[in-house]
Structures are given as structure tokens and as C-alpha cells.
Amino acid sequence: MKRNNKSVMNMVGLAAVVGLLVFSSLSFGEEAYDEGTYGPQAPIVWAKPVKGVVFVHKIHTMDAGLTCDNCHDKLFEMAAGTAEKNADFTMDSLYKGKYCGACHDGQMAFAANTRCTSCHAGVKGYNRLTGAAPQGKAPVKH
């Protein structure tokens, strides 16, 4: 009988701790994402000059502490998709410090000619993120 009581008490204690953790993570940990402060939540997915290059605002603003005017409007216009209309939106420009290359220079952030797949999600990533049907992968009939 005594043992039973004890285990019941333990359960209550455990529940209390779990409750506290959930509560505290809500109150301090997960700050709500505010699009006004941190930019659109949906990833920006470029298709030019190569398909499937992904930019996530949250990583750069909320996590890394940049503000809107660090990049807008000097490096990037506010309207999504403007940069990819430019003929100089290329890796070479990045190496010269334009666009993402302003920070991704190996000093402030990893250099633009390293860790390719951190930003390049490819055609597969493009299809996954935009919901486009993969091309040329129709079921094979034998």
C-alpha cells in the first residue's frame, strides 16, 4: 500500500515538472513569429538562373539578428522575385560581394563558394516546396 502511494506521488511530481517545462518553453523559448518584424514566413524559392535556391527569412532575422534594412532595399528589392530578373543574379556576382555575397564572404557568414546545398535545394527541392509535379518521372510500364 505504502509503495503504491509513493509511486502515485512520483507520478504527480513528474506531471508537475512536465507542466512546468511546457509552460516555460511557451513563455520564454518559442517567441511567436511576427511577419511584420521578421519578414514573410514562407521560404523564397528562386528558379533562375538555376532552379531551387531557397532563402528563409527566419534564419536571417529572428535567428541571426538581422533587420529588414540590412538587406532591403540596397541588396534586394522588397518585392520577392525581383533579383532573379536581373542578368547579374549569378554566383560570380555573389563572389564580388553583391546580393547574398555581401555577407556570405567567409567572414561574416560562410563563403558563397562553399556549402552549396545549404541554399541550393535543386529541382527536387523546388518541386517539394512549390508542390510542382516532378517532370519526367511518370510511372514506368513494362
CB of 15 to other proteins, least distance (A): 28
118 CB-near residues (< 8 Å, 6+ apart)? 110
Closest approach, Cβ 56 to other proteins, in A, equals: 14
What own/partner pairs with CB < 8 Å and gap ≥ 24 does 128-135 have?
Answer: 129/43, 129/45, 129/52, 129/54, 130/45
56 or 68, CB closer to other proteins? 56
Please report, to the nearest 10 degrees, the dihedral formed by the alpha carbons of residues 102, 108, 114, 119 taken in order. Answer: -70
Beta carbon of residue 52, minimum distance to other proteins (angstroms, whole number)? 7
> Collapsing DSSP states into helix, strand and coil, what is residue 53?
strand
Residues at the contact surface with other proteins, assessed by CB under 8 A = 49-52, 115-118, 120-125, 135-142
| Nearer to other proteins among residue 19 and residue 49 (C-beta) | 49
Nearer residue to other proteins within complex by CB, 82 or 113: 113
Give the whole-angstrom CA distance, residue 116 versus residue 123: 14
- DSSP symbol at 138: P
- Nearer Cβ to other proteins, position 74 or 141? 141
Question: Smallest distance from the beta carbon of 10 to other proteins, in angstroms?
Answer: 31
